[in-house]
Amino acid sequence: MDCLFCKIISGEIPSGKVYEDEWVYAFRDIAPQAPVHILVVPKTHIASADEISAENAVLVSRIFEVIPKIAKAEGLQNGYRVVTNVGEDGCQSVKHLHFHILGGKQLAGEMA
Ligand code: AMP
């Protein structure tokens, strides 16, 4: 499968890794939109949040266990935003489920 994030997870494409375990991989966004901008992905390929099911939802649960750990490690004690874009209208550019962690400044109040 020709998936950019699968290649990052396998190490074929380098990344600024900040966390890894058996199920989850997290790395710095190459084009950060905030002082802290990290992508958290399941190691298993899931195309988007639209593909979350009873069978794979445990991976999303694992991701959301990891997010507070990363936020703490990054010093985001004042808060942060977690975003996942889905499909064309959602402006999803990489078709591997990922959650953006954005923080390190006061974020915009509007989300769309
Ligand atoms: P989205 O637009 O929600 O699909 O988010 C994809 C994100 O992946 C964007 O914020 C990109 O900047 C980021 N991105 C694309 N290529 C890379 C890469 N090689 N390493 C790190 N982040 C990347």
Tell me if 26 sits within 8 A of 66, measured CB to CB: yes
Residue 42 DSSP SS3: strand
Tell me if 36 sits within 8 A of 76, measured CB to CB: yes
pLDDT tens digits along 78-102:
999 999 999 999 999 999 999 999 9
Q: Which two tokens stand for residue 76?
A: 């985001």
pLDDT value at residue 1: 77
pLDDT at 48 over 90: yes
Q: Average pLDDT in the 66-78 region? A: 98
* Summary mean pLDDT of the chain: 98
Q: Average pLDDT in the 49-77 region? A: 98
pLDDT at 111 over 80: yes
Annotated catalytic residue, options 37, 45, 96, 98? 98
Q: Name the more confident of 4 and 1.
A: 4
pLDDT tens digits along 6-15:
999 999 999 9
Going by alpha carbons, the residue nearest to atom 20 of ligand 1 is 30
Q: Is 98 a catalytic residue?
A: yes
Number of C-alpha atoms within 13 angstroms, CB side, residue 32?
A: 13
